[in-house]
A = this chain, B = another copy of it.
Amino acid sequence: MTSSPASDLPVTLADIKAAAERLRGKAIRTPLLNVPALDDELGFRLFIKAEPLQRTGSFKFRGAYNTMALLDPEARARGVVAFSSGNHAQGVAAAAQLLGIRSTIVMPKDAPSIKIENTRSYGAEVVLYDRDREDREAIARRIAEDRGATTVKPFDDVRIIAGQGTTGLEIAEQAADAGVTVDAVIANCSGGGLVTGCAVALAALSPTTEVYSSEPAEYDDMARSLSAGTRQTNAPASRSFCDALLAPMPGEITFSIARRLLAGGFSADDAAVARAMALAFERFKLVIEPGGAVSLACALQQRDRFRGRTVVVVASGGNVDRVTFAKALAA
Protein backbone atom coordinates (compact mmCIF):
# COMPACT_ATOMS: atom_id res chain seq x y z
CA MET A 1 0.00 0.00 0.00
CA THR A 2 1.40 3.38 -0.96
CA SER A 3 0.59 6.44 1.10
CA SER A 4 -1.47 9.26 -0.37
CA PRO A 5 0.85 11.67 -2.18
CA ALA A 6 -0.19 14.52 0.11
CA SER A 7 -0.18 12.60 3.39
CA ASP A 8 3.09 14.12 4.60
CA LEU A 9 2.14 17.76 3.95
CA PRO A 10 1.94 20.19 6.88
CA VAL A 11 -1.82 20.66 6.27
CA THR A 12 -4.17 17.77 5.50
CA LEU A 13 -7.75 17.34 4.37
CA ALA A 14 -8.59 16.38 7.97
CA ASP A 15 -7.32 19.77 9.16
CA ILE A 16 -9.49 21.52 6.59
CA LYS A 17 -12.56 19.48 7.49
CA ALA A 18 -12.00 20.29 11.15
CA ALA A 19 -11.73 23.99 10.21
CA ALA A 20 -15.00 23.71 8.27
CA GLU A 21 -16.68 22.34 11.41
CA ARG A 22 -15.40 25.31 13.44
CA LEU A 23 -16.58 27.74 10.78
CA ARG A 24 -20.05 26.20 10.44
CA GLY A 25 -22.65 28.92 11.01
CA LYS A 26 -19.89 31.57 11.32
CA ALA A 27 -18.44 31.80 7.80
CA ILE A 28 -20.76 32.06 4.82
CA ARG A 29 -20.85 29.14 2.40
CA THR A 30 -20.36 31.47 -0.57
CA PRO A 31 -22.05 30.57 -3.86
CA LEU A 32 -20.33 29.22 -6.96
CA LEU A 33 -21.62 31.58 -9.66
CA ASN A 34 -22.00 30.71 -13.33
CA VAL A 35 -23.41 32.58 -16.33
CA PRO A 36 -24.27 30.01 -19.04
CA ALA A 37 -24.47 32.59 -21.84
CA LEU A 38 -20.95 33.79 -21.02
CA ASP A 39 -19.62 30.22 -21.17
CA ASP A 40 -20.81 30.01 -24.77
CA GLU A 41 -18.92 33.20 -25.62
CA LEU A 42 -15.71 32.18 -23.82
CA GLY A 43 -15.54 28.61 -25.09
CA PHE A 44 -15.04 27.22 -21.59
CA ARG A 45 -17.17 26.82 -18.47
CA LEU A 46 -16.36 29.50 -15.91
CA PHE A 47 -17.43 29.48 -12.27
CA ILE A 48 -16.65 32.18 -9.72
CA LYS A 49 -16.32 31.24 -6.05
CA ALA A 50 -17.73 34.48 -4.64
CA GLU A 51 -15.73 35.37 -1.53
CA PRO A 52 -16.68 39.06 -1.75
CA LEU A 53 -19.93 37.75 -0.25
CA GLN A 54 -17.98 36.29 2.70
CA ARG A 55 -18.22 37.86 6.16
CA THR A 56 -15.95 40.98 6.14
CA GLY A 57 -15.96 40.97 2.33
CA SER A 58 -13.04 38.58 1.83
CA PHE A 59 -11.92 34.99 2.49
CA LYS A 60 -9.56 36.19 5.24
CA PHE A 61 -12.21 35.63 7.91
CA ARG A 62 -11.95 31.86 7.40
CA GLY A 63 -8.32 31.45 8.43
CA ALA A 64 -8.47 34.10 11.14
CA TYR A 65 -11.47 32.48 12.84
CA ASN A 66 -10.02 28.97 12.56
CA THR A 67 -6.77 30.11 14.14
CA MET A 68 -8.37 31.92 17.05
CA ALA A 69 -10.92 29.16 17.69
CA LEU A 70 -7.93 26.89 18.38
CA LEU A 71 -6.45 29.16 21.08
CA ASP A 72 -6.80 27.89 24.64
CA PRO A 73 -8.74 29.96 27.20
CA GLU A 74 -5.57 31.50 28.66
CA ALA A 75 -4.34 32.65 25.26
CA ARG A 76 -7.79 33.97 24.41
CA ALA A 77 -7.82 36.00 27.61
CA ARG A 78 -4.53 37.65 26.64
CA GLY A 79 -5.87 38.75 23.26
CA VAL A 80 -4.48 38.75 19.73
CA VAL A 81 -2.48 41.13 17.60
CA ALA A 82 -2.08 41.36 13.83
CA PHE A 83 -0.58 43.74 11.31
CA SER A 84 -2.35 44.38 8.04
CA SER A 85 -3.61 47.30 6.04
CA GLY A 86 -6.59 45.50 4.61
CA ASN A 87 -8.54 42.29 4.48
CA HIS A 88 -6.61 40.34 7.11
CA ALA A 89 -7.17 43.21 9.57
CA GLN A 90 -10.93 43.01 9.10
CA GLY A 91 -10.95 39.20 9.19
CA VAL A 92 -9.03 39.09 12.47
CA ALA A 93 -11.09 41.86 14.06
CA ALA A 94 -14.43 40.25 13.12
CA ALA A 95 -13.34 36.77 14.21
CA ALA A 96 -12.02 38.12 17.51
CA GLN A 97 -15.30 39.92 18.14
CA LEU A 98 -17.30 36.73 17.55
CA LEU A 99 -15.04 34.75 19.89
CA GLY A 100 -14.98 37.43 22.58
CA ILE A 101 -11.24 38.01 22.17
CA ARG A 102 -9.59 41.43 22.46
CA SER A 103 -7.81 42.32 19.22
CA THR A 104 -5.19 44.92 18.37
CA ILE A 105 -4.45 45.64 14.72
CA VAL A 106 -1.35 47.53 13.64
CA MET A 107 -2.21 49.51 10.52
CA PRO A 108 -0.33 52.13 8.48
CA LYS A 109 -1.44 55.71 9.17
CA ASP A 110 -2.12 56.21 5.46
CA ALA A 111 -4.31 53.12 5.02
CA PRO A 112 -7.66 53.92 3.37
CA SER A 113 -9.83 55.41 6.10
CA ILE A 114 -12.66 53.04 5.18
CA LYS A 115 -10.48 50.04 6.06
CA ILE A 116 -9.43 51.60 9.37
CA GLU A 117 -13.05 52.42 10.20
CA ASN A 118 -14.24 48.93 9.26
CA THR A 119 -11.58 47.34 11.43
CA ARG A 120 -12.61 49.55 14.38
CA SER A 121 -16.27 48.75 13.72
CA TYR A 122 -15.53 45.11 14.63
CA GLY A 123 -14.32 46.28 18.03
CA ALA A 124 -10.58 46.13 17.34
CA GLU A 125 -8.11 48.54 18.85
CA VAL A 126 -6.24 50.06 15.89
CA VAL A 127 -2.63 51.16 16.42
CA LEU A 128 -1.45 53.41 13.61
CA TYR A 129 2.18 53.61 12.53
CA ASP A 130 4.22 55.65 10.09
CA ARG A 131 5.28 53.50 7.13
CA ASP A 132 8.38 55.57 6.52
CA ARG A 133 9.70 55.77 10.04
CA GLU A 134 8.42 52.76 12.00
CA ASP A 135 8.59 48.97 11.68
CA ARG A 136 5.14 47.39 11.96
CA GLU A 137 6.52 43.99 12.89
CA ALA A 138 8.47 45.50 15.76
CA ILE A 139 5.36 47.33 16.98
CA ALA A 140 3.30 44.15 16.80
CA ARG A 141 6.04 42.16 18.55
CA ARG A 142 6.18 44.73 21.36
CA ILE A 143 2.41 44.55 21.84
CA ALA A 144 2.55 40.76 21.78
CA GLU A 145 5.30 40.73 24.41
CA ASP A 146 3.78 43.39 26.65
CA ARG A 147 0.39 41.70 26.80
CA GLY A 148 1.26 38.10 26.10
CA ALA A 149 -0.98 38.45 23.06
CA THR A 150 -0.90 35.90 20.25
CA THR A 151 0.12 37.16 16.82
CA VAL A 152 -2.29 36.02 14.09
CA LYS A 153 -0.13 35.68 10.99
CA PRO A 154 -1.55 36.54 7.59
CA PHE A 155 -0.65 33.29 5.80
CA ASP A 156 2.33 31.25 6.98
CA ASP A 157 0.56 29.22 9.68
CA VAL A 158 -1.03 25.78 9.33
CA ARG A 159 -4.23 26.98 11.07
CA ILE A 160 -4.56 29.87 8.64
CA ILE A 161 -3.92 27.61 5.63
CA ALA A 162 -6.48 25.07 6.86
CA GLY A 163 -9.06 27.82 7.34
CA GLN A 164 -8.52 29.28 3.86
CA GLY A 165 -8.63 25.71 2.53
CA THR A 166 -12.32 25.49 3.46
CA THR A 167 -12.82 27.56 0.30
CA GLY A 168 -11.42 24.67 -1.74
CA LEU A 169 -13.44 22.14 0.26
CA GLU A 170 -16.61 24.04 -0.61
CA ILE A 171 -15.63 24.24 -4.29
CA ALA A 172 -15.21 20.45 -4.38
CA GLU A 173 -18.52 19.86 -2.59
CA GLN A 174 -20.49 22.41 -4.60
CA ALA A 175 -19.15 21.13 -7.91
CA ALA A 176 -20.01 17.55 -6.93
CA ASP A 177 -23.54 18.64 -5.92
CA ALA A 178 -23.96 20.31 -9.32
CA GLY A 179 -22.58 17.27 -11.15
CA VAL A 180 -19.67 19.33 -12.48
CA THR A 181 -16.11 18.01 -12.90
CA VAL A 182 -13.65 20.85 -12.31
CA ASP A 183 -10.58 20.77 -14.55
CA ALA A 184 -8.81 23.75 -13.02
CA VAL A 185 -9.01 26.11 -10.04
CA ILE A 186 -7.21 29.45 -10.06
CA ALA A 187 -6.77 31.29 -6.76
CA ASN A 188 -5.24 34.68 -6.05
CA CYS A 189 -1.91 34.54 -4.28
CA SER A 190 -0.13 37.00 -2.02
CA GLY A 191 1.63 34.89 0.62
CA GLY A 192 -0.10 31.74 -0.61
CA GLY A 193 -2.45 30.73 2.21
CA LEU A 194 -5.56 30.62 0.04
CA VAL A 195 -4.16 28.84 -2.99
CA THR A 196 -2.28 26.21 -1.00
CA GLY A 197 -5.24 25.54 1.31
CA CYS A 198 -7.44 25.07 -1.74
CA ALA A 199 -4.80 22.82 -3.34
CA VAL A 200 -4.72 20.51 -0.31
CA ALA A 201 -8.51 20.14 -0.32
CA LEU A 202 -8.72 19.55 -4.06
CA ALA A 203 -5.76 17.14 -4.21
CA ALA A 204 -7.69 14.93 -1.81
CA LEU A 205 -11.23 15.34 -3.12
CA SER A 206 -10.77 16.04 -6.81
CA PRO A 207 -7.29 14.78 -7.74
CA THR A 208 -7.65 15.47 -11.46
CA THR A 209 -8.23 19.19 -10.80
CA GLU A 210 -5.20 21.37 -11.57
CA VAL A 211 -4.68 24.25 -9.12
CA TYR A 212 -2.93 27.43 -10.25
CA SER A 213 -1.86 30.56 -8.39
CA SER A 214 -2.54 33.97 -9.91
CA GLU A 215 -0.63 37.16 -9.13
CA PRO A 216 -0.21 40.77 -10.28
CA ALA A 217 2.34 41.01 -13.10
CA GLU A 218 5.03 42.71 -11.00
CA TYR A 219 4.32 40.56 -7.94
CA ASP A 220 4.65 37.13 -9.54
CA ASP A 221 6.96 35.75 -6.85
CA MET A 222 5.00 32.50 -6.51
CA ALA A 223 5.09 31.79 -10.25
CA ARG A 224 8.84 32.46 -10.36
CA SER A 225 9.41 30.47 -7.18
CA LEU A 226 7.58 27.49 -8.66
CA SER A 227 9.76 27.69 -11.77
CA ALA A 228 12.98 28.11 -9.80
CA GLY A 229 12.17 25.54 -7.15
CA THR A 230 13.15 27.99 -4.40
CA ARG A 231 11.43 31.06 -2.94
CA GLN A 232 11.94 34.21 -4.98
CA THR A 233 11.22 37.82 -3.98
CA ASN A 234 9.59 40.68 -5.85
CA ALA A 235 11.56 43.71 -6.98
CA PRO A 236 11.32 46.45 -4.31
CA ALA A 237 10.03 49.04 -6.79
CA SER A 238 7.15 46.87 -8.03
CA ARG A 239 3.77 48.51 -8.53
CA SER A 240 0.19 47.19 -8.78
CA PHE A 241 -3.26 48.46 -7.84
CA CYS A 242 -3.97 44.97 -6.41
CA ASP A 243 -3.38 46.23 -2.87
CA ALA A 244 -4.32 42.86 -1.33
CA LEU A 245 -1.57 40.94 -3.14
CA LEU A 246 1.68 42.73 -2.34
CA ALA A 247 3.52 40.22 -0.11
CA PRO A 248 7.27 40.26 -0.87
CA MET A 249 7.63 36.47 -1.27
CA PRO A 250 5.82 33.16 -0.66
CA GLY A 251 5.69 31.85 2.91
CA GLU A 252 7.90 28.99 4.00
CA ILE A 253 5.05 26.62 4.80
CA THR A 254 2.89 27.76 1.91
CA PHE A 255 5.72 27.29 -0.57
CA SER A 256 6.45 23.80 0.74
CA ILE A 257 2.86 22.92 -0.20
CA ALA A 258 2.78 24.94 -3.41
CA ARG A 259 5.83 23.25 -4.95
CA ARG A 260 4.19 19.87 -4.33
CA LEU A 261 0.64 20.58 -5.39
CA LEU A 262 0.36 23.54 -7.77
CA ALA A 263 0.20 23.01 -11.53
CA GLY A 264 1.74 26.44 -12.15
CA GLY A 265 1.36 30.16 -11.65
CA PHE A 266 -0.30 32.82 -13.83
CA SER A 267 -0.07 36.59 -13.67
CA ALA A 268 -1.98 39.55 -15.10
CA ASP A 269 -1.30 43.26 -15.37
CA ASP A 270 -3.48 46.03 -13.93
CA ALA A 271 -5.32 46.68 -17.21
CA ALA A 272 -6.33 43.01 -17.49
CA VAL A 273 -7.45 43.06 -13.86
CA ALA A 274 -9.61 46.15 -14.46
CA ARG A 275 -11.24 44.42 -17.44
CA ALA A 276 -11.95 41.40 -15.25
CA MET A 277 -13.58 43.64 -12.62
CA ALA A 278 -15.77 45.15 -15.32
CA LEU A 279 -16.76 41.72 -16.63
CA ALA A 280 -17.68 40.57 -13.12
CA PHE A 281 -19.80 43.70 -12.72
CA GLU A 282 -21.55 43.29 -16.05
CA ARG A 283 -22.10 39.55 -16.26
CA PHE A 284 -21.93 38.27 -12.65
CA LYS A 285 -23.30 41.36 -10.84
CA LEU A 286 -20.49 40.87 -8.35
CA VAL A 287 -18.18 43.53 -6.89
CA ILE A 288 -14.59 42.28 -6.88
CA GLU A 289 -11.63 44.31 -5.64
CA PRO A 290 -8.47 44.51 -7.78
CA GLY A 291 -6.57 41.86 -5.84
CA GLY A 292 -9.67 39.66 -5.91
CA ALA A 293 -10.00 39.76 -9.68
CA VAL A 294 -6.55 38.55 -10.74
CA SER A 295 -7.69 34.92 -11.05
CA LEU A 296 -10.53 35.95 -13.29
CA ALA A 297 -8.15 38.07 -15.39
CA CYS A 298 -5.80 35.10 -15.75
CA ALA A 299 -8.61 32.73 -16.73
CA LEU A 300 -9.71 35.15 -19.46
CA GLN A 301 -6.11 35.35 -20.73
CA GLN A 302 -5.88 31.55 -20.85
CA ARG A 303 -8.91 30.97 -23.08
CA ASP A 304 -6.98 28.77 -25.49
CA ARG A 305 -5.54 26.61 -22.75
CA PHE A 306 -8.95 26.09 -21.15
CA ARG A 307 -11.06 25.64 -24.30
CA GLY A 308 -13.85 23.14 -23.64
CA ARG A 309 -12.85 22.72 -19.99
CA THR A 310 -14.34 23.78 -16.65
CA VAL A 311 -12.52 26.40 -14.59
CA VAL A 312 -13.27 27.79 -11.13
CA VAL A 313 -11.71 31.12 -10.22
CA VAL A 314 -11.68 32.25 -6.61
CA ALA A 315 -12.72 35.89 -6.32
CA SER A 316 -11.04 36.46 -2.99
CA GLY A 317 -12.49 39.80 -1.91
CA GLY A 318 -14.63 42.82 -2.71
CA ASN A 319 -13.30 45.58 -0.46
CA VAL A 320 -12.82 48.32 -3.00
CA ASP A 321 -13.75 51.98 -2.68
CA ARG A 322 -16.20 53.66 -5.03
CA VAL A 323 -13.66 55.77 -6.89
CA THR A 324 -11.34 52.86 -7.68
CA PHE A 325 -14.28 50.74 -8.79
CA ALA A 326 -15.72 53.44 -11.03
CA LYS A 327 -12.29 53.89 -12.61
CA ALA A 328 -12.04 50.16 -13.36
CA LEU A 329 -15.46 50.28 -15.03
CA ALA A 330 -14.43 53.26 -17.13
CA ALA A 331 -11.12 51.70 -18.26
Contacts and interface: CB of A to CB of B under 8 A. Distances in A.
Interface residues of A, number: 29
Interface stretch (A67-75, A203-211, A260-268, A321-329): A321-329
Contacts of A286: 53, 285-287
A37 B281 contact: no
Nearest to A97: B37
B329 A281 contact: no
A322 B282 contact: yes
A96 to B, nearest CB: 13
B330 A37 contact: no
Nearest to A41: B121
Interface in A284-313: 284-288
A155 interface: no
B285 A37 contact: no
Contacts of A326: 326, 329-330
A287 B286 CA distance: 6
A276 interface: no
Majority-rule SS of A interface residues: helix
B329 A322 contact: yes
A325 B281 contact: yes
A330 B94 CA distance: 28
A151 B32 CA distance: 34
Interface in A12-42: 30-31, 33, 35-37, 41
Nearest to A58: B285
Contacts of A278: 322
A52 interface: yes
A285 B318 contact: yes
A59 interface: no
A285 B325 contact: no
A122 interface: yes
Contact of A53 (B33, B122, B288): B33
Interchain residue pairs A-B with the least CB separation, the first 6: A285-B318, A52-B285, A285-B287, A326-B326, A322-B329, A31-B31
12 contacts: A33-B53, A36-B55, A37-B94, A37-B122, A281-B322, A285-B286, A285-B287, A286-B287, A322-B329, A322-B330, A325-B329, A326-B326
Interface of A: 30-31, 33, 35-37, 41, 52-53, 55, 57, 94, 118, 121-122, 278, 281-282, 284-288, 318, 322, 325-326, 329-330
